[in-house]
Structure 1
Amino acid sequence: MIRNLMIALAVICGIVAADRPLLAADQPNVVILLSDDQRWDDYSFQGHEAIKTPNIDRLASQSLVYQRGYVPTSLCRPSLASLFTGLYPHQNGITGNDPREDKRTNKGRSVLVKRFRQNPRLAEILGQHGYVSFQSGKWWEGNPKSGGFTQGMTHGDVTKGGRHGDVGLNIGRKTMEPVMKFIDESVAADKPFFLWYAPMMPHLPHNPPERLLEKYQAEGRPLAVAKYFAMCDWWDETCGQVLDHLAEKGVADNTIVIYLCDNGWTQLADMGGGAVGGPRGKRSVYDGGTRTPIMIRYPGHVTPAENTTALASSIDVVPTILAAAGIKTDEKFPGINLLDPEAVGKRQAIFGEIFAHDIPDYNHPEQGLFYRWVIDGEWKLIVPTGKDEEEFGPKEPVLFNLKSDPEEQHNVIEQHPEIAKQLHEKLDAWWSPKV
């Protein structure tokens, strides 16, 4: 390809240094691999005793891996909207999966999509700099054009079954052809591309191929658990197909690959069809709901490493991609560039928020707010509003030491009132809604 040959020659000649982000003219491709409903340590590279994820393991070995990665909220739509806009849910207005009013009509959903379009959107920004883009898998915001995609699988029409991806949800489970075709066409046209690969995997329904289910069936292991394990394996297979295709087309070295999950999950033995994700998983304020590894692969520009101490957030993905692509905007994103050691070193805390599933009023996010949380170093403070009747978190403020108590079982707020006070002040300085 002419574009890649020119970049390679520039690197060889010293015009472009191989150890720094490319300029906008270099235009690296961008691929986001987004898991759906998977706990942060449900990977073999994270030490899981049964789940095998060789392709994601390989990606991790080639990436800068932030082990202490988080999403600000643990529910699908607001998590994806935050990732895509680079803004917190209370900033972009997408705090839940559905509007409380007219939730099953085009009227209700179109209001939220219109609100979404008022935000900065990753595909839109990249498109302004010559990128073609493709949406596949989960997508809540109507037609993919609402996000600035030039192409996509989803139609987004509620009257035709549109809600969170419709026909786009065939990707991974039924076909890989649309994604491969997009990569092929982009390479052939010599266009920089952005791929949003977000299958509903390992998300319910847990219906893995029999060959994978057999792999995980074992004496004493409930069938529901074996199915979930097999779904994680199936998801890994599809990631491998995408990564292998990038290599086959000769564009892997000029492609930024970012991997993360939208929210956590807890697979219970008797959960064959429930959608909650078990206690302390999906929708919860605990790490089981909000934590995810965040990985960045960019050969020649990002040194593979495992960062086990620094805090990272999905809020950081947009500014990281734009910085790596040399794209500057006037947007004031709250996140940081995860490839900037100085910015990473200066960060003290990350923040998050948990809301009602149905949005009462996108203009007043505090109306649906259940919890705010902050992590500073090894400490995590959770502050509830008292509105959560389903108990996705505590009823009173709690403080955990994540280093000594990673499963958040021991509230130490009475032993460390000053630390709790300091974290509460940081939380209020970040966002102090009147609830």
Structure 2
Amino acid sequence: MSLKTSRRRLIKAGGLAATGLALSGWPLLKKARAAERPNFLFILTDDQRHDALSAAGHPFLRTPNIDWLAKTGARFTNAFVTTSLCSPSRASFLTGQYAHRHGVLNNLTPWNEQNTTFLELMKKSGYYTGFIGKWHMPGKGLPDLAGQGKVDEFISFTAVAGQGVYWNCPLVRNGRSMKKDGYISEVLNGLAIDFLRQARGRNFCLCLSHKAAHAPFQAPEAYRGIYDQEDLRLPPEYLAHGLNFKFCAPHSSSGILRRGTMEDEYRRYCETLKALDDSLARVFEELAKLKLLEQTVIIFAGDNGYLWGEHKLVDKRFAYEESIRIPLLVRAPGIVSSPGQNIDRMVLNIDLAPTLLELAGLPVPGEMQGASFRPLLEGKNVPWRKSFLYEYPYDPPYALPGLLAVRTETMKLVKYEKNKLPDELYDIENDPRELSSLSSNPAHADRKRQLQTELERLALEAGLPRNSALGRILED
């Protein structure tokens, strides 16, 4: 469906998709033959927080195509990033490593050519591989992944320091300029369809990395204003006190920091996500036409969460739940034990690479720090993490200090570089919105000490250098 479609046709198409795309003849999960290696399609969105889809109960945003993955696969309800920032998180997805290990510490840090991605390992094993979309680890232009033989197709953009633009974005394909006018989500999905057609008859692994929905939020004209009458249900702390401008990211291009405009920006954000969801139908329909749905594992995730007024903030970076939790949906024919299930174990972005490699029957390199969540998809009761390390290196000119955090199934401890902000301790089980820090409460001193010990253990296990700025937080 073209994004030039009229609003009436968009609503009609959305209504059909809302019933579950299997109505168009798309099959549910069937048992794939054990001898076949699966194909892989990894779809990554930008700044889409964990509840910004209808499958997660959003009050008005309808995402039937993304929801179809949850209905015919599995949705992880406790999926997190280890650094809530675009470039470090994207590198963690690709490498299976923490930011302090792969070296992409902020949105301006160049990609380390010594890093190994799951795409490179898949290609070595015979997969036809591709990366299409937002790379955003700038350095001096884009890495020559295709020229170096690390992928077969590498299509990205360098505009706006790698952020790209929503309309008529200049592209680079395998080191050469490429012109594809149109709306960026539609363009990238069209290029993904081209890739799928080229791959037919070969096992493939494609990373489809979207710009949407990063600020400044823009959707095609047919979507503009569709949520103007919706009750946004914004957090009471924002409604009562507005934004804390000291710690809000300076999105001057989008106008978020002009007091009173956050409501409009949030509506534009939802419009952008809706346009993306509608456009994704083309990709799924192409897989069906090519008779590849039952041989393809589809993974959908966001690169980080986003605060929309919670704690009087608009941004990511922070260790709050809205910032670090992401959507993660997996459709894996013959692997997901109960299609439509929710899985509540804590999984991380660094788990993606080892999971894909295991599903492909490939060894997982020792330098990968995540764990394959294949057993969770299969419904197996296996030992799993009870806590994880979150890190955010100081990223000037933003005001937020560097921080470390440990998050368990019920608690969270946050510590800041050089004690620039007070420690924060939250009982997530009883205070899920993290409104009341217990850090200075003597009644919780033992719990805080236990979490401090766990934070130190996790940092040691992850190889965080003790002489780094983040490592020194453990000494304060």
- 1:382 equivalent to 2:414? Answer yes
Partner in structure 1 of residue 448 of structure 2: 420
Pick one of 424, 428, 444 that aligns with 1:398: 424
Q: What aligned pairs does 1:167-246 form with structure 2 within 5 A after superposition?
A: 167=171, 171-174=184-187, 176-187=189-200, 190-218=201-229, 222-246=263-287
Gaps of 5+ in 1: 1-16, 100-111, 270-276, 360-367, 389-394
Partner in structure 2 of residue 105 of structure 1: none
Superposed CA offset, 1:385-411 (max 9, x none)? 1387xxxxxx12211122222211111
Pick one of 352, 367, 371 that aligns with 2:390: 352
Percent identical residues: 26
- State the SS of the aligned residue for 2:82: coil
Contact 1:98 1:357 in 2 (8 A): no
Give the letter aligned to residue 245 of structure 1: E
Larger mean CA deviation between 306-315 and 45-54 belongs to 306-315
Partner in structure 1 of residue 143 of structure 2: 143
Contact 1:52 1:233 in 2 (8 A): yes
Q: 1:147 to 1:408 in 2, by over 3 A?
A: farther
Give the letter aligned to residue 423 of structure 1: L
Question: Aligned pairs, how many?
Answer: 376
Partner in structure 1 of residue 4 of structure 2: none
- State the SS of the aligned residue for 2:418: coil
Contact 1:135 1:144 in 2 (8 A): no
- 1:118 equivalent to 2:129? Answer no
The Cα shift of 1:219 comes to 6.9
Superposed CA offset, 1:57-82 (max 9, x none)? 11111122110000001110000001
Larger mean CA deviation between 216-225 and 83-92 belongs to 216-225
The Cα shift of 1:330 comes to 3.7
Partner in structure 2 of residue 283 of structure 1: 317
Partner in structure 2 of residue 300 of structure 1: 334
Give the letter aligned to residue 307 of structure 2: T
Partner in structure 2 of residue 64 of structure 1: 74
Cα distance in 1 for residues equivalent to 2:276 and 2:328: 16
Partner in structure 1 of residue 345 of structure 2: 310
Gaps of 5+ in 2: 1-29, 165-169, 173-179, 233-262, 461-465
The Cα shift of 1:140 comes to 2.6
The Cα shift of 1:306 comes to 3.4
The Cα shift of 1:371 comes to 0.8
Q: What aligned pairs does 1:57-136 form with structure 2 within 5 A after superposition?
A: 57-99=67-109, 112-113=110-111, 116-136=112-132
- 1:257 equivalent to 2:270? Answer no
- State the SS of the aligned residue for 2:226: helix
The Cα shift of 1:340 comes to 1.6
- State the SS of the aligned residue for 2:306: coil
Contact 1:369 1:385 in 2 (8 A): yes
Q: 1:398 to 1:19 in 2, by over 3 A?
A: farther
RMSD of equivalent CA atoms: 2.9
Q: 1:147 to 1:223 in 2, by over 3 A?
A: farther
Give the letter aligned to residue 87 of structure 2: R
Cα distance in 2 for residues equivalent to 1:97 and 1:244: 34
Contact 2:92 2:349 in 1 (8 A): yes
The Cα shift of 1:203 comes to 1.2
Cα distance in 1 for residues equivalent to 2:265 and 2:161: 28
Contact 2:62 2:274 in 1 (8 A): yes
Cα distance in 2 for residues equivalent to 1:76 and 1:278: 21
Give the letter aligned to residue 171 of structure 2: V
TM-score by length of 1: 0.79
Cα distance in 2 for residues equivalent to 1:344 and 1:79: 26
Contact 2:389 2:459 in 1 (8 A): no
Cα distance in 2 for residues equivalent to 1:421 and 1:117: 40
- State the SS of the aligned residue for 2:392: strand
Partner in structure 1 of residue 362 of structure 2: 327
- State the SS of the aligned residue for 1:95: coil
TM-score by length of 2: 0.72
- State the SS of the aligned residue for 1:293: strand
Partner in structure 2 of residue 370 of structure 1: 402
